[in-house]
Amino acid sequence: TGLDITNLSNVMKVVEELRPGVILNCAAYNLVDKAENEPDKAFKVNAEGPKILALAAHTYGSFFVHYSSDYVFDGMKESGLYHENDITNPLNEYGRSKLAGEKMVQDENIESLIFRLSWVFGEGKQNFISKLTEWAEKSEYLKISCDEFSVPTYTNTVVDVTLKALDKGITGLYHLTNSGFCSRYEWAKYILGSVGINKFIRPVSMDLFNLPAKRPKFSAMSNHQIADLTGAHIPTWEEAVSAFLHERGSRHE
Query: Residue 251 pLDDT > 90, yes or no?
Result: no
Any domain includes 214 = yes
DSSP-H helix ranges across the chain: 8-18, 39-43, 49-60, 93-107, 128-138, 155-167, 184-195, 224-230, 237-252
| Rounded-to-integer distance, Cα 38 and Cα 72, Å | 18
Question: What is the pLDDT averaged over residues 206-227?
Answer: 97
Any domain includes 1 = no
What is the average pLDDT score of the chain?
Answer: 95
Any domain includes 2 = no
Q: What is the pTM of this model?
A: 0.94
Question: What is the pLDDT averaged over residues 111-139?
Answer: 91
pLDDT of residue 252: 58
Total structural domains within the chain: 1
Any domain includes 96 = yes
Higher per-residue confidence, 232 vs 137: 232
Partners of 117 in beta bridges: 69
Any domain includes 3 = no
Query: Residue 70 pLDDT > 80, yes or no?
Result: yes
pLDDT of residue 127: 82
Does residue 75 contact residue 88 with C-beta atoms inside 8 Å? no
pLDDT of residue 179: 98
Does residue 243 contact residue 160 with C-beta atoms inside 8 Å? no
Query: Residue 40 pLDDT > 70, yes or no?
Result: yes
| Rounded-to-integer distance, Cα 243 and Cα 191, Å | 11
pLDDT of residue 248: 79
29 flagged as catalytic: no
Question: What is the pLDDT averaged over residues 16-36?
Answer: 97
Higher per-residue confidence, 180 vs 138: 180
Identified catalytic residue from 29, 94, 154, 185: 94
Q: Which domain holds residue 207?
A: 8-252
Any domain includes 131 = yes
- Kindly report the CATH number assigned to the domain that includes residue 39: 3.40.50.720
Any domain includes 167 = yes
